[in-house]
Amino acid sequence: MHAVVRLYLPPGEGEGEPALWRIEHDDGDEEDLEEHEVRAAMRRLAAARKEEEAAPPMSEEEVTAAVEAEGLTLLRSERGSSGFTGVRVNKPGKWAKGPAKLRGPTFTAAFSGAHTRTTALEAALDYARHLQQQEQEQQQAPVEVVGEGELEGGEEPLLPEGVEVGGFCLATAPDAWRRRYKAVLLSVRSARCYSGLPLHVRFVGSEAGEPLNRLTAPAVARAFLPLSEVSAWVPPEQREDAVAGTSSGMLEGGSSARRRAAPQRFMAPPSKPAAQVTEAEGMQLHLCSTNDTGYKGVKRAWSGRFDAKRSIGGRTVHIGRFDTAVEAAVAYARHASQQQAEPQPIATGYKSVYEDTITGRFCAQHSVGRRRLNLGPFDTAVEAAVAYARAVG
């Protein structure tokens, strides 16, 4: 069993009040230990790891026998460098020397508290045992679901709008990617007292609503999650016109960064309007069939608003951010028309020499890499041409 130190309590004024360390175990239990007890636990852990590292690695025959005896399944994968799903490869660092560099890479199963193994087969065996244990715990866990965001003591519910008993929750899949799962709410606790993790959920199905098994179940059967990682569950046949999560439903709890990121993470891609606006405010809008907004130079920002950008002379000009795509398209069209209305430089007969129509003087332009240098101004076009010739060399 693994544990982490959550709190340090300084010694009291009396002689019988030593300093304490609050330890939280994997199963959620907490206990207060004195310094000598913490040090003894750390020595036992170091000794166990040293003994484990000294033990010879299991052969392929031993791993195969263990898999058959325990009824496990090793999840092989062609995508990962280890050859197995849920197995991470730990390569020696750049500055590794001596035995650490000669040993080569090690392997670790993708769950909390996994031991480092010398072969990928052993790590895959650890991961298979972990999935089997999670599946057994999930089958033995009683199904007790509270009502819609009910809290004791008359407090207000902390659930996002639209999430009742079921919802989508982010969790780590067997392939080590963060995916959405159908989950049921078990209990709600105060976000102010538990670091912004108020929702206790249990995963019951995949994103498509299918039952979970050892190949599709997340790394843990239950979890405490913030509000930003929960969204309303929508049946698969209704997801084209539905939004998976709402920004207005993010109530108090969790960090502001999570609330800002929630609309982009859980919002369905905007569907194109049936009748696209082609003209607004007397401007002919620039349409684009490859852009998801339907307008050239208009893109959806992470906040839900729309950015208008235009490429001029190899550089991108940010026109502004607007509430709707049509407003951004109007700004783009207005900016393009203003650029076309500006007078073009008059040809002077010399390469890269232009006359300023306002002042009547001449300047030369010279490109160095991606930079464009302006030479001048000069009184005559000949002087500008001479300066350009000297710059080119």
* Cis-peptide into 377, omega within 30 deg: yes
Claim to verify: residue 290 and residue 319 sit in the same structural domain: yes
Shared domain for 304 and 362, answered yes or no, is no
Does residue 361 fall inside a structural domain? yes
CATH number of the CATH domain containing 332: 3.30.730.10
Torsion-angle region of 347 (φ positive above 0: left; ψ -120 to 50: alpha; else: beta):
beta
Per-residue pLDDT of the chain (393 residues; tens, 9 = 90+): 566 776 777 776 666 677 787 777 666 667 778 888 888 888 877 777 666 665 677 888 888 899 889 888 888 887 778 888 889 888 776 555 555 555 678 888 887 777 888 888 998 998 888 888 877 776 665 444 444 444 344 434 444 444 444 567 778 777 777 788 888 777 766 544 445 566 777 888 887 777 887 778 887 777 777 766 676 555 555 555 444 343 333 333 344 444 333 333 334 444 444 467 888 888 888 888 877 788 898 988 877 788 999 887 667 888 888 888 899 999 999 888 886 655 555 567 788 888 877 777 888 888 877 777 888 888 888 998 998 888 887
Q: What domain range is 25 assigned to?
A: 1-48
Task: Write down which residue in 10, 31, 48 finishes a domain.
Answer: 48
Q: Assess whether 167 and 212 both reside in one domain.
A: yes
| Overall number of domains in the chain | 4
For 45, phi then psi, to 5°, come to -65, -45
**Same domain as 256, residue 293:** no
Question: DSSP 3-state assignment of 164?
Answer: coil
Residue 173 lies in a domain: yes
Of the residues 266, 294, 322, which one is the last residue of a structural domain?
266
Cα dihedral value 242, 245, 251, 253, nearest 10: 170
User: Exposed e or buried b for every residue in 310-320, given b needs 16+ CB within 10 A?
Assistant: beeeeeeeebe
Domain boundary among 205, 240, 266: 266
Whether residue 39 is contained in a domain is answered as yes
Shared-domain flag, residues 173 and 248: yes
Is 198 found in the same domain as 166?
Answer: yes
Q: Are residues 257 and 284 in the same domain?
A: no
Residues 351 and 332 in one domain: no
Please tell me whether residues 363 and 316 are part of one structural domain. no
